[in-house]
Amino acid sequence: MLRNPILPGFNPDPSICRVGEDYYIATSTFEWFPGVQIHHSRDLVNWQLAARPLTRASQLDMRGNPDNCGIWAPCLTFADGLFWLVYTDVKRNEGNFKDTHNYIVTAPRIEGPWSDPVRVNSSGFDPSLFHDDDGRKWFVNMVWDQRKMPTAFAGILLQEYDPVEKRLTGPVRNIFKGTERGLVEGPHLYKRNGYYYLLTAEGGTGYRHAVTLARSKRLTGPYEVHPDKHVVSSLTFPDNPIQRAGHGDIVETQTGETYLVHLMGRPVPGLNRCQMGRETAIQKCVWGEDGWLRLEGTPLEPQQTVKAPGLPLHPFPAEPVRQDFDDGKLPSAFQWLRSPEPKRLFSNTARKGHLRLFGRESLGSYFEQALVARRQTHYHYQAETSVDCDPETFQQTAGLIAYYGRFQFFYLAVSWGEKIGKCLTMMACPGSFPSGDLTFPLDTPVPLSSSGPVRMRVETEGLALRFSYAEDGGGWTRIGPVFDATVLSDEAGRGEHGNFTGAFVGMHAMDLTGQAWVADFDYFAYQDLP
């Protein structure tokens, strides 16, 4: 059986692609670098991170991008012996305007090398590329109308793409305005039995989300809407643990079965807060005699367990609980914020067996933060690290952080106090958008008795998030209050339509003196708690 989510934690806006016996899902990474996350499977059951293609400044530079901007809704396809990856780099996401720059990169293999980007247009987000069976290529994206007449989601644009000239050509057509659910976005085109099928997302990425299907005998339309309008949505199933179902893509297996991957969220019952952020689910589908796609079993309602395809199981090795930074490489689970210049933020080789962070700008900076973290993928987890540093001013901190965004985090750090010297401090920002007021949960900083490393631990159990520390090989000591873990969710900040990412846990260093003070982390461990 397939159990949802198949990609837990922050893995939204899935685009799926099959090449022979291999399946790939590309998901949004927003302000986290490198850009776009691609997982690989051979059975649709087991998935492993295979690549993050946007690794250099020529492809992506998000310094200055606000939270929840950056990479939105990539589309991954394969044609002409190449992988084609289409993505948006969103530079603004507040007010009436959105600056949405759309690009294409290609590669002969999923591991790369990936090309420098071709800038395609900026008329809206959620672009995708359709390869027609006559060899022509077509670019679609939603169009953003800053006038909001009557809505900013003004339809789906279609234009031909010339792969030789590497530009759009010919007329621009608005081929679909959506249904009364509204907020049409996330388009994907397919061709089947003489029809062009257009799959879109509607209702916004919150609790009214849906996957909508339409078709036409002509690529340019007009498009007839599915008799049920939507293929999947949780709107009328409020008790289903899978909520926010929408934004999907279709794949056909080599044995002729059809599956739909889609975005989902798992809210805490009664709170409507999704600590895991927006995740990826899968549903088995069937094509009816009327030529329309529906979920197998109960139409429209997303299922937690789904019949797996008739393919041999292909498991991958489990991710190690503990990462010791011994091989000089950053483990694949980790990302950092915005910058294509990681050497300014961290080093895997400056101190053997350690990850060295160079303290940079303030926690919450849009430009250059030394924050290296991994996704939270379980509701109950424990993360641990050891930091070795010698701060000389209160403006230098390094430690363990549970992080969602610049207004949503909990941070235990080594710092320095004028009266007590080296000490532990805590900082928190419990979703106080837009003020972003920082709180200091400890009544007074805790003096450290040793100049050596300090171990730090964070645990979540249900709604509770707690920190502990240990020094000189001693036992663990609780520190600080019990925090509300659900603060690290979309809904706790600017709401389901303002926040789009997910919770991370990781290592952070800050030096507000501008001297790039260093902090060394010996290991990082993450494990699920039963």
Residues 85-98 have pLDDT tens digits of: 999 999 998 889 99
pLDDT at 497: 80
Q: Which listed residue (252, 368, 461, 471) is catalytic?
A: 368
The sign of the CA dihedral 347, 488, 45, 309 is: negative
Backbone φ and ψ for 395, nearest 5 degrees, come out as -80, 0
Extended strands (E) in 193-304: 195-202, 210-216, 224-233, 243-252, 258-265, 279-287, 293-295
Burial class (CB in 10 A: 0-12, 13-18, 19+), 225: middle
In this model, does residue 464 exceed pLDDT 90?
yes
Q: Which has the closest alpha carbon to 22: 5, 3, 38?
A: 38
Q: Are 137 and 106 in contact (CB under 8 A)?
A: no
Q: Are 63 and 51 in contact (CB under 8 A)?
A: no
In this model, does residue 25 exceed pLDDT 90?
yes
Name the DSSP letter for residue 300. Answer: B
Return d(Cα 90, Cα 132) in angstroms, integer: 28
Average pLDDT over every residue of 8-22: 98
pLDDT at 434: 64
pLDDT at 473: 79
Distance of CA 375 to the CA centre of its chain: 9
pLDDT tens digits along 500-528: 899 999 999 999 999 999 999 999 999 99
pLDDT band for position 317 (50/70/90)? very high
Backbone φ and ψ for 128, nearest 5 degrees, come out as -150, 165
pLDDT tens digits along 386-399: 999 999 999 999 99
pLDDT band for position 448 (50/70/90)? very high
pLDDT band for position 451 (50/70/90)? confident
pLDDT at 195: 98
pLDDT at 115: 98
Q: Nearest 5 degrees, angle CA 161-CA 165-CA 166?
A: 55
pLDDT band for position 270 (50/70/90)? confident
Mean pLDDT for all residues in the chain: 96
pLDDT band for position 271 (50/70/90)? confident
In this model, does residue 433 exceed pLDDT 80?
no
Q: What is the dihedral of CA 43, 44, 49, 53, to 10 degrees?
A: 110
Average pLDDT over every residue of 270-279: 91
- Cβ neighbours around 91 below 10 Å, total: 17
Name the DSSP letter for residue 522. Answer: E
In this model, does residue 113 exceed pLDDT 80?
yes
- Cβ neighbours around 193 below 10 Å, total: 8
Distance of CA 412 to the CA centre of its chain: 24
pLDDT at 262: 98
Average pLDDT over every residue of 214-223: 98
Q: Which of 120-124, 216-220, 495-499 has the lowest mean pLDDT?
A: 495-499
Q: Are 284 and 296 in contact (CB under 8 A)?
A: yes
Q: Which has the closest alpha carbon to 527: 358, 333, 273?
A: 333
Return d(Cα 524, Cα 366) in angstroms, integer: 25
224 carries an active-site annotation: no
In this model, does residue 371 exceed pLDDT 90?
yes
Average pLDDT over every residue of 345-353: 96
pLDDT band for position 346 (50/70/90)? very high
Place of tokens 């999907």: 248
* 3-state SS assignment for residue 342: helix
pLDDT band for position 435 (50/70/90)? low
Q: What is the bridge-based pairing of β-strands 48-51 and 37-41?
A: antiparallel
Q: What is the bridge-based pairing of β-strands 185-192 and 167-176?
A: unpaired
Does this model's pTM top 0.95? My answer is: yes
The sign of the CA dihedral 198, 199, 201, 202 is: positive
Q: Which has the closest alpha carbon to 263: 502, 427, 99, 504?
A: 502
pLDDT band for position 431 (50/70/90)? confident
pLDDT tens digits along 473-483: 789 999 999 99
Name the DSSP letter for residue 274. Answer: -
pLDDT at 53: 98
pLDDT at 366: 96
